Amino acid sequence: MGHLGTFGAAVREANPTAEKDSFEFFGETFTVHGVIPPMLMLQIGAAATGKIDEQEGLGAMWEAMRCSLTIPATGDQPADGKAFDRLYKLAVNHNCNIDELMRLAMALFEVQAGRPTQEPHGSSLGQSSTSPSSSTSSSASPASPADANPKLAGMVPVATVLGG
């Protein structure tokens, strides 16, 4: 058998000067400091498509929130998970439902995957295909995967492949 190559050498690092994403949760503001590891993003994708057990998918969403809210370790400073602890306590104290927690985890996933979670100000995606009475999504879907991320050019959505 042939050698497939060397893997795991490249590490994605967050740009420390880039503006941080943030969100509101029960009246408190949270800043996204960490990055969801790509392997964890694959696990969340597998959960969303029913390829893995639901409990494993929920665990992946938990870990995605923890990774996103943890300030990474630097030099002699250990990682700081206080923001995740605060989110956890708010969710428990307010009895936050699973649907809302899943929406948050998916928003974190989408923003780190390069898919916008909201329409940019002043832009238009064209005429709306939904009626005024339909509910709106928390994210604006791009016309194609390549619109969201040029690295995805040539890829076909799973729903298309499966005939959905």
Measured CA distances, 107 to 13, 100, 102, 160 (Å): 20, 11, 8, 23
Q: List the beta bridge partners of residue 121.
A: none
Beta carbons within 8 Å of 51's beta carbon, 6+ residues apart: none
Does 37 score more than 50 pLDDT?
yes
pTM: 0.60
What pLDDT is attached to residue 118? 47
Identify the band that residue 131 occupies on the pLDDT scale cut at 50, 70 and 90.
very low
